[in-house]
Amino acid sequence: MAGDTLTSGEYIKHHLTNLAFGKHPDGSWGLAHNAEEAKEMGFMAIHVDTMFWSIFLGILMLWVLRRVAVNATSGVPGKLQNFAEMLVEFIDSSVRGSFTGQNSMVAPLSLTIFIWIFLQNLMDLVPVDLIPYVLGDPGIGLAHFMKVVPTTDPNATFGMAFGVFFLVLYYSIKIKGVGGFAGELTLQPFNHWAFIPVNFILEFVSLIAKPISLALRLFGNMYAGEMIFILIALMYSGGIALGLFGGILQLGWAIFHILIITLQAFIFMTLAIVYLDMAHHEH
């Protein structure tokens, strides 16, 4: 597909365009047929591919975990149960090392965050042309645009980051009270009423930076990784020699990328634990 009907620039732009659903300028609702139509739909456009793959992977995660729980045995565990137990122990040790408060929700939340983000990142190892080809015009005609890595869409990463952020706000107010939380924003680091405006600006920036850093770190790393896969895919249209070289590069980058997708899921989970720990304690 890389060199059949599209130029290199058009090919890259095609793979970086989401399947958007929204309101057209004429008032009708439907899917965008190109990047310009998606842009005209504005902020309220729904990225159908991001929604589908993130929800599908979430349901897949829940189904597998439920299957493990239902079939769990106290005897010799199967391979799937053994892997799930190792994963739970890994997450539990991470929570114990970073979270010093008392909250039974943090460990299950951390497990959910890690597995869900890892599965979304794992879609980056699927060849960039495979699923769009099957679902696009040459296939069953479902969608011409199809970004299958939800974490390359800032809407998905910001959605998850703000979910963690709202929990941080909730527990900050629940544990410390409205007055205690307001005091942290206005009386730190300078404990004097005259510095309340300065304190608020400093602490508010620090507070807002938490979800922004969570979202942009995950998005930036996954977007860059996907871009490299797209650039490598372009090499297949340059002849046999360049195509073989591209295949070697793709294999090497895919192996290295396994570390990246795992590390990004772990970093997001760890920072979520740390932020929740900060919410459970005084400044």
Domains in the chain: boundaries: 8-279
What are the distances in angstroms from CA 162 to CA 79, 80, 84, 102?
Answer: 35, 32, 28, 22
The catalytic residue among 8, 103, 217, 237 is 217
Tens of pLDDT, residues 3-47: 456 677 888 888 888 889 988 888 888 888 877 888 888 888 899
Per-residue pLDDT at 6? 67
Residue 259: other Cβ atoms inside 10 A: 9
Per-residue pLDDT at 108? 93
pLDDT of residue 140 exceeding 70: no
pTM of the model: 0.88
Per the model's pLDDT, the better-predicted residue between 180 and 143 turns out to be: 180
Q: How far apart are CA 47 and CA 110, in angstroms?
A: 26
Q: Name the phi and psi angles at 199, rounded to 5.
A: -60, -45
Residue 125: other Cβ atoms inside 10 A: 15
Q: How far apart are CA 164 and CA 211, in angstroms?
A: 8
Tens of pLDDT, residues 74-121: 777 788 888 889 999 999 999 998 898 888 899 999 999 999 999 999
Whether 66 is catalytic is: no
Q: Which of 120-124, 183-187, 236-240, 242-246 has the highest mean pLDDT?
A: 120-124
Q: How far apart are CA 65 and CA 57, in angstroms?
A: 12
Percent of the chain with pLDDT over 90: 42
Tens of pLDDT, residues 169-178: 999 999 888 8
Q: How far apart are CA 266 and CA 264, in angstroms?
A: 5
Q: Which of 30, 19, 114 is nearest to 65 (CA)?
A: 114
pLDDT of residue 137 exceeding 70: no
Whether 54 is catalytic is: no
Whether 172 is catalytic is: no
Per-residue pLDDT at 265? 96
Per-residue pLDDT at 283? 61
